[in-house]
Amino acid sequence: MMQVKNESAEELIIHKVRSNDLAQVHDAVAVEEPLEISLAWQSEGKNNVKVISVTMRTPGHDPELATGFLFTEGIIKEKAVIKSAVAHSFAENKITVVLNDGYAPALQQTERNFYTTSSCGVCGKASIDAIKTVSAFKDNTDEILVDANVFYSLGEKLRAQQTTFNSTGGLHASALFDLRGNFISLREDVGRHNALDKIIGAALIEDKLPLSNSILLLSGRASFELVQKAMMAGIKIIAAIGAPSTLAVKAAEECGITLIGFLRSESFNIYSNKKRISVTKENTLA
């Protein structure tokens, strides 16, 4: 096994079968490893450290993932509470987010098992009520209006930026574009919720929240937990290459988010809050 420079992928020697011929070839495979996220804070003169979650992720941007996860889960409210995000030099795949003195985490906001898989960011929640975290930006008003033509090229722009996906075919992506369709940033991960936590964590660290003037593009389907995380970051428009779930549509409607699915080069479906999309012709059902 040979390590590729990109820590998101490893190059393996595999056996490829084609037309009943067998050959040894090199193949790039997306890396999946666990990350233990811990939180450290002081209360009443006592140092506290608590493991919050273990998630399967693609290595890279771990501080963004950890801070983004804590923010979108409602455990921390703003950048000001964070003192540092420290990777353990003596132990791989562990990171501790340290809070500034005087801040205590809102651990009552989340009731989840410590283990989540790369395919589900909500697995382990005790109840549907536990995942209805409240965003500070939920009620922000806007007058956003985006021409439908802006969306048609987003998929192609996304694929051009997905360097690791292009070599492995095994990663989800979350990308941000401005309201004119200009690319801003992208994060990839084996877990779709991790990719979104990374991009929101980066915005939190860089003091760029809320992301109300950005379009969030998802490389796959739109699920409830992705809509919920986007809502926490103040995102108003979500476009997905794949399909939305019914719960994602319901959440988008309740949170005032414009949700687009099945985005293609010449078409897309609007599932909620159509008011932000400008379309030249409009036909209604008879």
Q: What is the pLDDT of residues 250-266, one digit of tens each?
A: 989 988 999 999 999 99
Sequence ranges of the chain with CATH classification 3.10.20.10: 33-131
273 or 139, which is more confident: 273
* Predicted pLDDT at 90: 63
CA 74 vs. chain centroid, Å, equals 15
Picking from 215, 199, 211, the residue whose alpha carbon sits closest to that of residue 259 is 215
Query: What average pLDDT score do residues 132-161 get?
Result: 89
For residue 116, name the pLDDT band (cuts at 50, 70, 90). very low
What pLDDT does 245 receive? 95
CATH level 2 (architecture), domain 33-131: Roll (3.10)
- Residues 105-133 have a mean pLDDT of 52
Split at pLDDT 50, 70, 90, the class of 128 is: very low
Contact (CB, 8 A) for 3 and 11: yes
Burial of 23 (0-12, 13-18, 19+ CB in 10 A): exposed
When pLDDT is averaged across residues 90-104 and rounded to a whole number, the result is 89
Return the structure tokens found at 88.
């353990």
Query: Tell me, what's the pLDDT at 109?
Result: 58
What is the CATH code for 146-278? Answer: 3.40.140.10
Q: Give the torsion through C-alpha atoms of 149, 152, 158, 161, to 10 deg.
A: -70
Supply the mean pLDDT for the chain. Answer: 87
Q: Which pLDDT does position 88 carry in this prediction?
A: 79
Q: Answer with the residue of higher pLDDT: 80 or 133.
A: 80
Q: What is the CA radius of gyration of the chain?
A: 20
Active-site residue, 120 included: yes
Mean pLDDT within 10-36: 89
Residues 227 and 203 sit within 8 Å (Cβ to Cβ): no
Among residues 40, 86, 98, 120, the one annotated as catalytic is 120
| % pLDDT > 70, the chain | 85
pLDDT band at 122 (very low <50, low <70, confident <90, very high): low
pLDDT band with cut points at 50, 70 and 90 for residue 28: confident
pLDDT at 124 (0 to 100): 41
Residue 53 predicted with pLDDT over 60: yes
**215-238: per-residue pLDDT in tens?**
999 999 999 999 999 999 999 999
Q: Quote the CA–CA distance of 78 and 209 in Å, as a whole number.
A: 9
Residues of the chain with CATH 3.40.140.10: 146-278
* pLDDT score, position 127: 36
How far is Cα 111 from Cα 45, in angstroms, rounded to an integer? Answer: 26
Question: In the chain, what percentage of residues exceed pLDDT 90?
Answer: 66
Q: Which H, E and C letters describe the chain, residue by residue?
A: CEECCCCCEEEEEEEEEECCEEEEEEEEEECCEEEEEEEEEEECCEEEEEEEEEEEECCCCHHHHHHHHHHHCCCCCCHHHEEEEEECCCCCCEEEEEECCCCCCCHHHCCCCCEECCCCCCCCCCCHHHHCCCCCCCCCCCCCCEECHHHHCHHHHHHHHCHHHHHHCCCEEEEEEECCCCEEEEEEECCHHHHHHHHHHHHHHCCCCCCCCEEEEECCCECHHHHHHHHHCCCCEEEECCCECHHHHHHHHHHCCEEEECCCCCCCEEEECHHHEECCCCCCCC
- C-alpha to C-alpha distances, 273 to 2, 121, 235, 241, nearest whole angstrom: 49, 25, 13, 18
